[in-house]
Structure formats: C-alpha cells, structure tokens
Amino acid sequence: MKSFTKLEAVLWSIALPGFSQLLSGHIWKGILFVVLEITINVFSNFNRAIMYSFLGEIENAIEVTDFQWLMFYPCLYMFAMWDSYRSAMIKNEELSYLPFVFSAYFVTVGLMYSTKLTLFGVLFGPVFLPMLFLIPGLVFGFLVRWLILTIRKQRVL
C-alpha cells in the first residue's frame, strides 16, 4: 500500500471520491466511492449543471439538476475526503472529522438554498453556492474542534 501525505490524499479525493483509496490500496472502498460518485453524478445531472454554471447559465443549471439525487453528493464527497485524510494520518488527531462533517452540513444547506438565495444580487445556483457554503462549514468545523480540544485540555490541567 502506498502512503500519502494528508494533503495529497485530500487532493486526490477532491479530484474524484475514491481515487485516494484506490491509490493507497483500499481497492474495494475506492471502487465503492467511485461507483457511488458516478451514480449520483449521472442521476443528478451534475455534470450538465457544472457545464451550465461555468457558462453563466445558472437558470439552465437549476433546471437540469435533480436535487433529490444531488443532495447525497456533499455527504459522500466529504466522507470520502475525510476517509482519505484519516488513512493518511500518522498519529490519531482527535476530532479531525469535525471540519469535514460541518462542511458536509453547510454544503448541503447551500444546495437547498441554491435556487433562491442571491448574494449581492447574484444567483449562484447549485454548483457555486454550495462551494461558497464550504468556507463557513470549514471555519465552523475547525472552530468547534478547537473549542472542544481547548475545553478538554483546561479540564485536565
């Protein structure tokens, strides 16, 4: 099995959920993530939504998106990313999953609001608004992790 740095593992997972697992020798898990990603991607029409979004045709992106399927994507994506991160850890990092979990929550909420919410008068749609919601998800996850670890440390002292 090939070992990766945490950054390398996460970057391969960003490219496609399951790549990091395949490259590190976790074949069955990697195949499962890739198959799930492709299934959700196809049934949600996500590639078409991405294409329309990058062309600036947000209304078309919203129209082609099957939100019932796409709602599974953030959790699968972030879980595969966390799994690759966890596998690359040299030592156990307490609560390392929190930024990934809160990111999945926030991105899912961003997806739910992507047909209605505008920022500065701009409708970002089902691709870009969830990406923007990733930022507060990460910040909130790291903040919660830091608070819990700080409180635990103070109780020990």
100 belongs to a structural domain: yes
Domain housing 40: 6-156
Please give the C-alpha separations between residue 134 and each of 37, 52, 88, 102, 141, in angstroms, as whole numbers.
Answer: 19, 21, 22, 9, 10
Kindly tell me the burial class for residue 144, based on how many C-beta atoms sit within 10 Å of its own C-beta (0-12, 13-18, 19 or more).
Answer: middle
151 belongs to a structural domain: yes
- φ and ψ of 122, to 5 deg: -110, 130
1 belongs to a structural domain: no
Cross-strand partners of 119: 122
Tokens of 37: 């990603």
Tokens of 13: 């997972």
How many distinct structural domains can be found in the chain? 1
Q: What is the dihedral of CA 92, 95, 101, 102, to 10 degrees?
A: -140
Q: Which helix (H) or strand (E) segment is 146 a member of? A: helix 125-156
127 belongs to a structural domain: yes
97 belongs to a structural domain: yes
108 belongs to a structural domain: yes
User: What is the pTM (predicted TM-score) of this model?
Assistant: 0.91
85 belongs to a structural domain: yes
pLDDT in tens, the chain (157 residues): 667 889 999 999 999 999 999 999 999 999 999 999 999 999 999 999 999 999 999 999 999 999 999 999 999 999 999 999 999 888 888 999 999 999 999 999 999 999 999 999 999 999 999 999 999 999 999 999 999 999 998 887 6
46 belongs to a structural domain: yes
pLDDT tens digits, residue range 46-69?
A: 999 999 999 999 999 999 999 999
